[in-house]
Amino acid sequence: MEITVKKSTMVYPAEETPKHRLWSTNLELLMTLHHVPTVYFFRPDGSSDFFDAKTLMEALSKVLVPFYPMAGRLGRDENGRVEIICNGDGALFIEAETDAVIDDFVGDTILSPDLWRFVPKVDYSADISSYPLILAQVTRLKCGGVCLGMAFQHTLGDGPAGIHFVNSWAEIARGRPLSAEPFIERYLLRARDPPTPTFHHIEYDPPLSMDVDSGFDDSDPQTTVSIFKITHDQLNNLKAKANKDGNGGNFSTYNSLAAHIWRCANKARGLSDDQATKLYIPIDGRSRLQPPLPQSYVGNVIFMAATIAKHGAIQSETFSDTAKRIKDILKRMDDEYLRSAIDHMEKVPNVKAPVRGAKGFQCPNLSINSWMWLPVYEADFGWGRPIWLGPARVSQDGKTYVLPSPVKDGSLSLVTSTVPEANSYRREENGEQNFAEKFATGRHFSLKANQTSDTNINPDRPQNAAPDESTTTAASHRPGGARYPVEGPETSNLATHNPDPMQPKNPPHHCIPGKHAEQTPPSPFGAIHE
């Protein structure tokens, strides 16, 4: 697949916006400095102005007024703490086209490993103040459809904040007022004085390692992405199975699904009975804190629930017992526990220490990151809702995402990233199926087979290519009063479209001065409610 960039435009707020430095909470400091990549696919509606660039840029310019931190840049205070410099320097909007068709990427499941190429790539080799925090790329496909690729810098906010921004942009594009104004006061998540953690926060302890005699190779394993559709009836069956003996009572669909995923993944990995395994579940703290934060809060309010158990214990207990483990850790995430977590982070000498990095969810660890309750399909820019959206790349072993159905039929899609051995693990004598076989309706593809293997890619180690000497930077030379005056190929200085990130070449004209770094995204975000 080839993608050709036609034009890049730096879009500025339509009105004057506040100029100040936005403090970062401890939760922001835990996040990667990279951008989170997501893709939205839209089928053509037959209109002559389908995804008109002028309409989209005008709406983006307007939404950057209430969401003014999105038009800022990263910086550091006198102590080196990352913060957002609210300076109105703008968001990058890219227009592109490709000879691919939408059905190459959207069907019963999403199988293409090329989704990341629809998202603008950012050069992280320069100072953190050098790149926009929001980058959007509208790629027109040969069939008339469109892919909107979004790069959302994680210091800005979490999944709910990112979805709120995109949906608000879509509302303005349709000519409607914002349904919820952004709330940008971050002082509500300050640590207490003095910080008084009252719990042992195992979620911020180092991830578990495989037993010494396991023979597991933890050196940047190749991963395989598997995608499964789980029907409404299958979800009901799981819930009924969890509730049949009443242990702990009234397990939710999510309790049941998470228990099933954890049991299947551990079985597929072939863990020994004595091997401890750790489950992580991201939690949206907005409604759990007291008083609750507004749902329109712009920032990171994602806490991590976690639990540890030996594989043998999980496999020998009833399904209801495993569901109860899930329910218990979610129930524990109340205001007292979350405030304790913030205080714990305040007392950590290096607040970045708990960040899990590239191997944080690697076997025997597992993360289940759900977008089930996010209003992800409300991004109607005036030409209909997206037919599919999701993370543009899933590269870390042990990462699992739960996505809602675009047709609201009660089904869910499960996206997993595991080493190939987990999908080829043979059945044991008891006839238990492996992870892929458990979800018999699923299909998978090997990143290596599609020449986009994630082997040896470290999200915190950019892959650099040689710079293009002819590239110039125009973003800082805009005339006053113009909304988005910096246009044309000469300003596409932050986006690159290298067909093979593992074999970097001289980047095209659309590249920032300096070394090009292929964006290896962090894990996309999400939120779980009990």
Show which residues are catalytic: 154, 380
Residue type, 237: N
Beta-bridged to residue 282, according to DSSP, are: 304
521: closest CA among 352, 396, 413?
Answer: 396
Task: Give alpha helix (H) positions in 134-174.
Answer: 159-173
CA distances from 128 to 20, 26, 28, 85 (A): 17, 18, 15, 11
Are the CB atoms for 277 and 308 separated by under 8 Å? yes
Q: Vertex 106, ends 102 and 108: CA angle to 5°?
A: 150
Axis-axis angle for helices 232-243, 253-268 (nearest 10): 90
Q: Alpha-carbon distance 459 to 465, whole Å?
A: 16
Residue type, 494: L
Burial 69-81 (b: 16+ CB within 10 A, else e): bbbbbbbeeeeee
Q: Alpha-carbon distance 270 to 275, whole Å?
A: 10
Are the CB atoms for 393 and 195 separated by under 8 Å? no
Burial 38-49 (b: 16+ CB within 10 A, else e): bbbbbbbeeeee
Report phi then psi at 399, rounded to 5: -85, 130
